[in-house]
Amino acid sequence: MLLLAGVVKTASIAIHGGAGIFPRKQFSDSLKARYTKALHDCLDVGWQVLSAGGSSLDAVQAAIVALEDCPLFNAGKGSVLNEDGRIECDAAMMAGDGRAGAAAGIRTVRNPVLLARKLLDEGRAVFLAGEGAERFARDHALPLVEEDYFITAQRRAELDDARSGSKVALDSIKFGTVGAVARDKEGHLAAATSTGGMSNKLVGRIGDTPVIGAGTFAQDGVCAVSCTGVGEVFIRKVVAHEIAARVRLAGQSLEDAVCEVIYKELPPLGGVGGLIAVGADGSLSTHFNARTMYRAWRKGRGKPVARIF
């Protein structure tokens, strides 16, 4: 059944691999090629689900699992480290019908997005953190790993850098948080986001990623949004829900809503970052006020596109 009468059955998907402030001239051709290939591969995993008639929820899940498994990105394997040199992953997922699941402070669940999906499906709680979240994952037989699985030499070096400058680094100076939004052929929307957070973050710090409405939001007939950037500002501006509210209540186009928030609302607060969004009609909007945002998208019969700058 079509969700909205008269709406063309366009499937579309967008993914991001984080916004960053890494200068363009420091990107070697081989680094660009590695990221571009990884983006295409992960996009394709989600697209295959959609083109086979699968749901937007399954498509964003599949794309995020692929991104979490890729050590280039700051989610799952390759996550950044907190001030104690430990892993604390956050993830969230929302379906356009209002179901949601989110988890924070994850150290042993191989794919944090699968924990968010389990919560979404079960419906007993939306948001679990720390020990309770990990117990829920164990009870539901999700694949578990040792904390070392997540940690790469690159992330240890970034933590050392951040410590020497005693700063909390935007994790994606080089690499970033991951996200996906999709619209399936039935017109249902979904969003998911997963991250290791920010390098040298306070122990117990939770960013915008798993906060429904801040880093992740979806509402059928309106839009689905996944954010990346300085989480504290994205929480304070409730960015993902703000985009949806502008579209639903103020009648703004998705593109106008995204541009106003990213380019006008966030910068005065230090809100460096970006987001990807899909509208009820399958239109896609990706904008960022950082130097880079790893991103890729595919819509309808169009070809896949991947961009960094």
Known catalytic residues are: 177
For ligand ASP, which residue of 172, 194, 216, 292 counts as binding (CB under 6 A)?
Answer: 172
Of 26-34, 183-191, 204-212, 254-262, the window that binds ligand ASP (rule: CB under 6 A) is: 204-212
For ligand ASP, give the closer residue by CB, 22 or 47. 22
Letter for the amino acid at 108?
T
CA distances from 16 to 3, 21, 72, 74, 150 (A): 26, 15, 12, 11, 20
**Position 197 contacts ligand ASP (CB under 6 A):** yes
Work out how close the CB of 171 gets to ligand ASP at its nearest, in angstroms, rounded to a whole number.
4
Letter for the amino acid at 80?
V
Of 27-35, 171-179, 181-189, 291-299, the window that binds ligand ASP (rule: CB under 6 A) is: 171-179
For ligand ASP, which residue of 61, 82, 199, 209 counts as binding (CB under 6 A)?
Answer: 209
Of 132-140, 160-168, 182-190, 194-202, the window that binds ligand ASP (rule: CB under 6 A) is: 194-202
Work out how close the CB of 148 gets to ligand ASP at its nearest, in angstroms, rounded to a whole number.
21
**Position 195 contacts ligand ASP (CB under 6 A):** yes
**Position 231 contacts ligand ASP (CB under 6 A):** yes
Cβ-based neighbours of 305, under 8 Å, separated by 6 or more = 296, 297, 298
Residue 275 · residue 262 · CB < 8 Å: yes
Work out how close the CB of 74 gets to ligand ASP at its nearest, in angstroms, rounded to a whole number.
6
Cα-based torsion angle of the residue sequence 165, 171, 172, 175 in order, rounded to the nearest 10 degrees: 110
Cα separation, 66 vs 283, in Å, equals 23
Helix (H, G, I), strand (E, B) or coil at 305: strand
For ligand ASP, which residue of 198, 225, 240, 290 counts as binding (CB under 6 A)?
Answer: 198
- CA angle 239-243-293, nearest 5°? 65
Work out how close the CB of 25 gets to ligand ASP at its nearest, in angstroms, rounded to a whole number.
22
For ligand ASP, which residue of 68, 88, 184, 208 counts as binding (CB under 6 A)?
Answer: 208
For ligand ASP, give the closer residue by CB, 96 or 215. 215
**Position 112 contacts ligand ASP (CB under 6 A):** no
Residue 68 · residue 194 · CB < 8 Å: yes
Cα separation, 175 vs 187, in Å, equals 32
For ligand ASP, which residue of 101, 112, 229, 282 counts as binding (CB under 6 A)?
Answer: 229
Q: Where are the alpha helices (H) located in 189-249, listed in sequence order?
A: 231-236, 239-248
**Position 171 contacts ligand ASP (CB under 6 A):** yes
- Residues 15-54 touching ligand ASP, rule: CB under 6 A, are 18
Residue 39 · residue 298 · CB < 8 Å: no
Cα separation, 303 vs 309, in Å, equals 19
- Residues 73-92 touching ligand ASP, rule: CB under 6 A, are 74
Helix (H, G, I), strand (E, B) or coil at 283: coil
Binding residues (CB under 6 A) for ligand ASP: these are 18, 74, 171-172, 176-177, 195, 197-198, 207-209, 215, 228-229, 231
